[in-house]
């Protein structure tokens, strides 16, 4: 077998290893020791380190995790002994997105209450609680047409495009026995949320349209423009400007968190500031609560609008699909 070996190649392979391990540098010793190491390796590869099904030395087998230890005693089993590398420095959950804060502008308040002032444009103005009666009002009730206390209420053909409430024209100055608000409620026998008709929200097509046809003219739909003769004979319609204010009282979400000294120390090895993470979690909790509140209110308003317009969800979806296409 030795005659079949390339002794020079064997010596070049093993001599440096033997010299480093034993300090032997004599050429003759390195020659026969190299041959010995080479033959020994061939024997082990062929007989001991066999990869055949009936191998001499078995592998580690399947991966096995150690079972739970408890009360200071080994009550489980050992694992396979594999060294488990850390896949990530530290895994942390990701917060859900808060789309409600994108749909509705949020204005921070400096205190527990605030005053919201807003400007509105109404059809010919007026007051609901006395004084000069408004020319137009809107109400949840569609049964308010009639005359009471010197006021006459007539329902228009169209409703509010925002909330679906019925729009009424108001004529008469009253007989002084009740306000316009009380007179209207006496016809419906219930408080129906009377409000002024806002020009930017509740458009009345006939307000500046054809109006009443002039002498010798054919009747025109209200949304069409007036002819010159009708315009000359029709008094100008007036848009009113009203300033409103609404008080706002803040409501509260509150939450607390706790972190131990051990957690603060342990998380430092991952480069994580435990206190900063707790603050972020508290902020997210409050933000998620506000977001849920906003979305809940928006869904309630949408359901009310759908009910007011006597639509079902299928019709709304169809309308949305038509608009998208």
pLDDT tens series, the chain, 325 aa: 444 568 888 888 999 998 988 888 888 888 899 988 988 888 777 666 555 556 555 667 788 887 765 555 556 777 777 877 777 777 777 888 888 888 888 778 888 888 888 888 888 888 777 677 888 889 888 888 899 888 999 988 778 877 788 889 898 888 888 888 888 888 887 766 788 888 888 888 778 877 656 566 777 777 788 888 878 887 888 888 888 888 888 888 889 988 899 999 988 888 889 889 899 999 999 999 989 998 888 888 777 666 655 544 454 455 455 555 4
Write the DSSP string, 126-181: --SSSSSPPSEEEES-S---EEETTEEEEEEEEE-TTT-PEEEEEE----SSS-HH
Q: Write the Ramachandran bin of 218: left for phi over 0, alpha for psi from -120 to 50, otherwise beta.
A: beta
Indicate the DSSP class of residue 70: B
Amino acid 47: pLDDT: 66
Q: Determine phi and psi for 181, rounding to 5 degrees.
A: -60, -50
| Phi and psi based region of residue 189 (left: phi greater than 0; alpha: psi -120 to 50; beta: remaining) | left
pLDDT at residue number 1: 45
Residue 59 pLDDT: 65
pTM of the model: 0.49
Q: Identify whether the C-beta of residue 135 lies closer than 8 Å to the C-beta of residue 204.
A: no
Q: How far apart are CA 153 and CA 194, in angstroms?
A: 12
d(CA 15, CA 36): 11
The confidence score (pLDDT) of residue 54 equals 62
Q: Domain residue spans in the chain?
A: 2-47, 113-249, 251-324
Helix 7-22, helix 27-47: angle, nearest 10: 100
DSSP 169-229: EEE----SSS-HHHHHHHHHTS----EE-BTTTS--GGGSS--S--TTPPP--TTSPPPHH
Cβ pair 134, 170 in contact under 8 A: yes
Token duo for residue 27? 């050429």
Which pair of structure tokens corresponds to residue 265? Answer: 């120390």
């Amino acid at each position: 077998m030795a005659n079949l070996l390339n002794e020079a190649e064997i010596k070049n392979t093993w001599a440096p290893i033997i010299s480093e391990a034993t300090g032997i540098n004599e050429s003759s010793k390195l020659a026969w020791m190299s041959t010995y190491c080479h033959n020994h390796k061939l024997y082990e590869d062929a007989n001991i380190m066999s990869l055949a099904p009936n191998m001499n030395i078995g592998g580690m087998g399947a991966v096995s995790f150690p079972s739970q230890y408890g009360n200071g005693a080994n009550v489980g089993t050992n694992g396979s002994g594999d060294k488990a590398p850390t896949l990530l420095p530290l895994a942390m959950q990701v917060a859900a997105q808060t789309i409600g804060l994108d749909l509705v502008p949020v204005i921070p308040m400096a205190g527990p209450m605030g005053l919201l002032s807003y400007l509105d444009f109404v059809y010919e103005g007026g007051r609901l609680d006395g004084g000069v009666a408004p020319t137009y009002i809107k109400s949840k009730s569609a049964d308010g047409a009639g005359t009471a206390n010197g006021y006459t209420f007539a329902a228009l053909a169209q409703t509010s495009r925002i909330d679906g409430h019925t729009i009424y024209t108001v004529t008469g100055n009253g007989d002084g026995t009740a306000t316009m608000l009380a007179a209207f409620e006496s016809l419906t026998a219930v408080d129906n949320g009377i409000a002024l008709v806002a020009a930017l929200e509740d458009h009345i097509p006939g307000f500046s349209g054809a109006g009443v046809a002039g002498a010798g003219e054919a009747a025109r739909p209200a949304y069409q423009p007036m002819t010159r003769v009708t315009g000359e004979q029709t008094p100008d319609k007036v848009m009113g400007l009203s300033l409103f204010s609404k008080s706002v009282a803040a409501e509260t979400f509150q939450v607390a968190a706790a972190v131990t000294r051990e957690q603060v120390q342990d998380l430092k090895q991952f480069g994580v500031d435990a206190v900063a993470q707790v603050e972020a979690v508290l902020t997210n909790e409050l933000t998620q609560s506000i977001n849920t509140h906003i979305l809940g209110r928006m869904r309630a308003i949408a359901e009310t609008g759908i009910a007011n317009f006597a639509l079902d969800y299928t019709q709304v979806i169809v309308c949305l699909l038509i608009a998208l296409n």
